[in-house]
Amino acid sequence: MEPDNPVLDDYVLALTGKDRPKVCFVPTASGDAPDYISKFEDVLSDRAETAVLRLFTREHSDLRSFVLAQDVIYVGGGSTANLLAVWRTHGLPEVFAEAADNGTVLAGISAGMNCWFEASVTDSFGPGLAPLADGLGFLPGSACPHYDGEELRAGTFRGLVAEGFPAGYAADDGCGLLFEDGELTDVVASRPGADGYRVELVDGEVRETSLEATYLGVGRSA
């Protein structure tokens, strides 16, 4: 989302502990949009070995071997519901789970945040926002990206939680949440004021707890 300030991307790459990690972009949620793929390669190809996992025009017969060779799986934005349906058709959830167990970093933005949780807030079903309750469940609870970036996100998420939607995590645009073994271990940001939030129902009331992010500063231009 910020090609001129790639500090979040650099943060993800550093998690691998490698100077030039293998990073695979998964653009399923956008229908493998060519412009999105080009943007990914333009931003990361100078500091990582990049690859793309296309599923609408599938190029790899052995998805397991291809995925397990990667250091980072980076999932792009778009339709969370469509992403999940296509992944399940191709058997990818089980492959991604194995990759995570082997130490591969699973990352993403927007739908690429939503997909890893049990549930999420999505615009997959039309111009409005709606709950989605059949995420992969690699992380417990629910997710809401774009918390400060889209006018209706925060109110919708809080309203859903008030009605019994699973408690979960929200992230402002520019905020990254790091989970290890299902537990939140770090909150970072590419701009001042971008934070994460824990949203849950406590004694019948919605409680929003700010998770103050560490500002990573401005990175070098891509």
Q: In which order are the strands placed within the sheet that holds 22-26?
A: 49-52, 22-26, 72-75, 105-108
Q: Coil, strand or helix: which one is 84? A: helix
Quickly count: other Cβ atoms within 10 Å of residue 105's Cβ: 19
Q: Which of 79, 110, 120, 190 is catalytic?
A: 110
Task: List the one residue out of 197, 180, 210, 174 whose CA is nearest residue 7.
Answer: 174
Q: Which of 79, 120, 124, 146 is catalytic?
A: 146
Q: Coil, strand or helix: which one is 187? A: strand
**Residue count (the chain):** 222
Task: List the one residue out of 98, 159, 160, 152 whose CA is nearest residue 133.
Answer: 160
- Give yes or no: 146 in active site: yes
- 92-101 and 80-89 helices, crossing angle to 10°: 90
51 strand-pairing partners = 24
Percentages of the chain per state (helix, strand, coil), in multiples of 5 = 30, 30, 45
- Give yes or no: 61 in active site: no
> Looking up tokens 């997710």, which residue turns up?
143
Among all residues, which ones are annotated catalytic? 110, 146
